[in-house]
Amino acid sequence: MQRCAITKCNDYTSESLYKAFNEIIRNTDFPDVHGKKVLIKPNILSDALPEKAITTDARAIEVLLHILNERGAIAIYIGDSPATQTGKLSLSLSSLDKAAEREKAIICDFRSDNRIHEIDGLRLPMASILDNVDIVISFAKFKTHQLMSATGAVKNMFGTIPGLNKSPLHFRYRTPESFASFLMKLFDECHVDYAFIDAVIGMEGPGPGNGDPRHVGLLMGSENAYALDKAEAVIMGYESVPLIKTAEKLRPGITESEYPLIKPEEVIIEDYARIGKGKKNTLRSIIGASIINVFHRHDYGRARPEFIADKCKACSRCVNICPAKALSIENGHVKFEKKKCIRCYCCHEVCPFDAIKVR
């Protein structure tokens, strides 16, 4: 049986991280990287300061890079494409650019080099580097997510679709369950060999971009990304999350794993600020979600976003990403056509000013 390793890591010092990474590697089937080209896909929702806990922490990535170099990798790439990216990929605020430079890793901008993959009948651009490396590692951040309850190693690979090409997919897959099914097919295309989750400092509350940092004190790794994401959800205190519920329904046994170090049930954070308090879906909500997805009804059974005028800077990020075209800027303020809203919360996800709430 595949193994999922969870270990204590209380801070981002090199010593703590190096010890934690190696403990995880010893207790799981970490791939042999000697003589191989490796891609690390971190979570870079936006280029943000480390203390905001929005991105996979550069200090953790740097230690992983060092370990990969020690183990004989011949080339290491780090890549992503944030949803709102329109220009060159910037990694200066997160300090990931400096970490890559120190460990001689190559920054790979997914927007500038991609090829077409066919997924679920759709022709989608994806990062071409996926086809040019031997090993792919997803390195996610321990965070809540307004639509999917939690975001982890599987959903992290959504970032292999460049920039605003992601937005229309939320319009096509309007429920968390249908979106989860799509993410599984996308994940298959990424041929991920291993996954980590940076849970030293996580994010709770209205994630993935506007929540609050929360010290968790863990580092997590597994060759089974679904088991890793299930462990994350359990530690957050969820009974279930859409991705795991959908995965276990479509592929029974996919999250089964052994926990050689710490079991997730041993480190549940009871007061973690979760999305929707982690309640199970009722039969009514499941039937409703199916109706919504088939007939594109407007009553989604989920709260609409609210726009806080005093905080809004009219930057247009929400307007540009909205797949339903429900938003526009008029007289320096966001105009919101509520009937068009599909409750995907992309606007909330990308707002840099915490000017959008979901209540």
CATH number at residue 55: 3.40.50.11440
Domain that holds residue 344: 302-358
If you search the block for the tokens 């029974």, which residue do you land on? 252
The pLDDT score that the predictor gives to residue 46 is 86
The confidence score (pLDDT) of residue 47 equals: 85
Q: What is the model's pLDDT at position 93? A: 87
Exposed/middle/buried for 325, CB within 10 Å: 0-12, 13-18, 19+? exposed
User: pLDDT tens, 321-332?
Assistant: 999 999 999 988
Give domain status of residue 167, yes or no: yes
* Pair (316, 181) in one structural domain: no
pLDDT tens, position by position, 108-151: 989 888 899 999 999 999 999 999 999 999 999 999 999 999 99
Residues 184 and 97 reside in one and the same domain: yes
Residue finishing a domain among 277, 293, 314: 277
Count CA within 13 A, CB hemisphere, residue 117: 21
Residue carrying structure tokens 């969870």: 6
Note whether 271 and 317 are same-domain residues.
no
Q: Which two tokens stand for residue 111?
A: 């927007």
- What is the C-alpha separation between 124 and 189, in angstroms, rounded? 11
Model pTM above 0.75: yes
Let me know whether 142 and 248 are in one domain: yes
- Does residue 283 belong to any structural domain of this protein? no
Q: Does 119 lie in the same domain as 195?
A: yes
Which pLDDT does position 331 carry in this prediction? 86
- Fill in the DSSP letter of residue 353: T
List all residues 6 or more positions away from 200 whose beta carbon is below 8 Å from its beta carbon: 9, 10, 11, 12, 17, 57, 60, 215, 216, 217, 218, 219
Rounded CA gap, 349 and 344, in Å? 9
pLDDT at 209: 92
Q: Check whether residue 94 and residue 184 sit in a common domain.
A: yes
In a domain, 286, yes or no: no
Residue 293 lies in a domain: no
> Strand 135-145 and strand 194-204: pairing?
parallel
| pLDDT computed for residue 277 by the predictor | 57
Interatomic CA distance for residues 312 and 314, integer angstroms: 6
Same domain, yes or no: 326 and 268: no
Q: Is residue 296 part of a domain?
A: no
CATH number for the domain harbouring residue 309: 3.30.70.20
Ramachandran sector of residue 181 (left: φ over 0; alpha: ψ -120 to 50; beta: rest): alpha
User: Do 231 and 344 sit in the same domain of this protein?
Assistant: no
C-alpha to C-alpha distance for 283 and 97, rounded to whole angstroms: 47
If asked whether residues 28 and 122 sit together in one domain, one would say yes
Residue type for position 222: S
Query: To 5 degrees, how large is the angle CA 264–CA 270–CA 271?
Result: 135
User: Both 264 and 325 in a single domain?
Assistant: no
Question: How many contiguous H segments (helices) and E segments (strands) does the chain have?
Answer: 10, 14
Q: What is the pLDDT of residue 291?
A: 43
Q: Give the total number of structural domains in the chain.
A: 2
Residue 289 lies in a domain: no
Q: With a cut of 70, list the residues of the chain below it in pLDDT.
A: 84-86, 277-301
> Which residue stretches of the chain are H helix?
14-26, 58-70, 96-102, 167-172, 176-189, 225-236, 242-250, 283-295, 317-321, 346-350
Residue 86, token pair as written in the block: 């329109």
Q: Are residues 317 and 193 in the same domain?
A: no
The H-assigned helical ranges of 35-107 are 58-70, 96-102
Is residue 91 one of the residues assigned to a domain? Answer: yes
- Tell me, yes or no, whether 262 and 323 share the same domain: no
